Each structure stands twice: as structure tokens, then as C-alpha cells.
Amino acid sequence: MVPRQYGDLMAVRKCPKHENCYLVDWRPEGRNGRRPQRHFPGTEAGAHAFHMEMVRVSRREPVPTINPKVFQLLPDWKAQYRNDHAASTVKDLETALVHLVNYFGTMYLAEISGLIIEQFKARQLELKLSKRTINKHLSYFSGFLRWCADHHYCEPVKVRLFPAKQTKAPKPRPLHPNEVTAMLRFIEQEYRAIFLLYNDAGLRRSEALGDETYFGLRAEDIDLQFNCIYVRGKGNKERIVPILTSRLRQALEERLKNVKSGHLFLNPKNKNKPYQGIRKALKRAAAAAGIDKRVYHHLLRHNFGTHAIVAGLGLRQVQYIMGHSTSHVTEGYTHVANYLDNEAAKFSLFTEGKPATEKKKAKSTADVSKKRKPATAKAAQTRPKI
């Protein structure tokens, strides 16, 4: 029996249809107002705590005259969100809204509180969603609640996410250069240039192929005279990416023989619309090459970042080439580069035409010069500066 201090026992009762579930109702608008009802999975004590929280929230501030439900305001918010963000981000939002609307859709804005959000997190964990995915969904919902508060539909609500240490992104597992070479032998010729733009130039899929927001590469963006590519990236920012490998240059030259102007990669099988991606081609090439790793568009971009660090490019230069707004993301590639450093002699990706033995010799000479120290501290002080 639950002690009387839990409050109104009639407001909390067992659900007749589900085990370990309680029906909770309260009157946020007073004695004569509506009486919303919610299912609460958990213990009876937890259900009473949830009821007390709902009563506290409803008494904290007067309920606004206009107190819409969540689903009623989502179309207006989505319209503004669509104007401010890339099409790929809006597509990701649509996926998140499936989970958010199922849980919050029929709730009044005045009912939403920190405890309600914690219940949502618990429910999503039961559905086997990762904490990182739940955080992403709640980030979208937090933006929606801020928009509602800015438009005076509700009071601000703080959304507490899972701690960052519990939601770290998995480290990318790049392909070895030998695996990249193997895939190049099997990938269809029409996709070769796209593959190399990802792997040898570090372009994003949207930058190379385009989407509803970006136009993708055009023939006019390839400057073979100066050996560079003009890329429009996130936020419509333009950067100049050098063509670092002869195989990428050769693939672009072949492409430009057939495409003199306009979009560089049009799909002849889809009424000459831009390619949406080459995911299936990547899977076929990986399978033919005997690679059992998961190969996807962005993994090839990770390849570029990791291989560039191993090959000796500076962190700042890699950041610029890849279009990272801060060096924090670029620094993530150094963890893989550290343990691949011993294999650097095999990486002909950015040193084409140089034998591996020559690179090993150069490295050993550099190591000797690093280890060479002056005989005494005094000698070091008196050595003339160059």
C-alpha cells in the first residue's frame, strides 16, 4: 500500500491492460478544467512522483489561453527549419520526428517537463535505441521547444541530454591503402572519379554529387591547369581543394572528355539527374575485393583524413582541405594515424612513384637527426642560431 503522502491516490491507478503500468491523470486548468491521462510504465511510487510533478508544473505558471498540442505546431516549426537547414539535415529530422511524435505528439505544451523527457529517454532505451541517437532526437525536440517559447506558446523547458562521455561517436575504421587499391580494380569505370573524389580529395557526398541544397561539382569547378577543385560545402562556403594524386587527375581528365560543362556526374539511368550516391557500387567493389568491413561514402572521406595525417600533411592543411570549421573534428583522425605511422612506408597514396625503401631510408635519417643531442647543456647554449 502506498503511503498517503504521495497525494491523491485516485489520480494514480493500475492500468487494466498492461503489467507494471499505471494510469495517471491531473487537472492542469483547475477543478473544472480538462483531465489529461497518461500511461506511466514503472513502479507505483514512480507513478505518484510523476503525478506530483505534473501537478507542480501546472501550478507553477498559469496555463496560457492558447495551449496547443505538440503535433499542432510542428508544421510551422518544420517550415522554418527547412528554410534554415540543408536538405540532408531536414531528412534526418523527419526520421527523428517519427519517435518524437509517437511520444509527445498528443501532449499539451504546458504538460511537458523534465520528468516527461526522462520518461521518453527510458522508453527509447527500451526500444533498443542508442543513447547517442536519443540525444540527437532530443536535440531536435529542444530546438522545437525553444521555438515555441520564443513564440510565447509555452514557458522555456530545459532538455537534459545523456552526458557526452556516454554518447561518443565510434571511431572510424579506415581502409588500408592496399584495400583501396583493390577496390579501385573492381569498381565500375563510371563511378571511379566519384570514388577518388571521396578517397583522394576528402569531399563529402553532397559536395561531389549534390542534393536538394547543393549543386554538386560542375565541369567548370575542375581546374587542371592549377591542379585544383573549387568546392562548395556546408553553409555554401567555397574552398579550393588540391588534386593530390595522379590517379584522381587522370579520372577527372577522362570525365571532362565527355562532360564539357554543367553537372559533372549525371546518371544516364535516371533521366540524366545527378547521382544520389554510389552505395551499391561500393558494396559490389568491396565484396569483389574480399573486404569484409562496412564500406560507405563517408568512410572514404575518413580514409583521406587518416591517410593524409600519416603521409605528413599538417593538421591545419587537412582541416582546410576537408572543410572542417574547427580543428576538433580533424584531430580525430590522428588516433588512427598514430598506430599506422609504422606502416607509413607502405603508403604510396600521397607519394606515388617513390619506392618504399627510399621512404624508409628517409625516415631512418630523420630519426637519427632527432636523437642526436649536444654533448653538454653548455654546448647547446653556445651553438649559433640559424
- State how far the Cα of 209 lies from the Cα of 193, in Å rounded to an integer: 11
Q: Which of 121, 137, 247, 301 is catalytic?
A: 301
Catalytic residue flag (residue 204): yes
Catalytic residue flag (residue 263): no
Catalytic residue flag (residue 146): no
Residues in the chain, total: 386
Q: Please report, for residues 7, 113, 253, 311, the alpha-carbon distance to residue 53 in angstroms, rounded to integers and kept in the order given.
A: 11, 8, 66, 58
Q: Which of 123, 132, 234, 249 is catalytic?
A: 234
| Exposed/middle/buried for residue 83 (C-beta within 10 Å: 0-12, 13-18, 19+) | exposed
Catalytic residue flag (residue 284): no
Q: Which of 204, 205, 297, 302 is catalytic?
A: 204
> For the stretch 297-336, what's the b/e string if a residue is b when 16 or more beta carbons lie within 10 angstroms of its beta carbon?
bebbbbbbbbbbbbbebeeeebbebbbbeeeeebebbeeb
| Phi and psi torsions of 8, nearest 5° | -70, 105
Q: Which of 298, 335, 354, 361 is catalytic?
A: 298
Continuous H helices in the chain: 44-60, 70-84, 87-104, 114-126, 131-150, 177-186, 189-201, 205-209, 246-258, 279-288, 297-311, 315-322, 327-331, 334-340, 356-371, 377-382
Q: Which residue has the cell 565510434?
A: 170
Residues recognised as catalytic: 204, 234, 298, 301, 324, 333
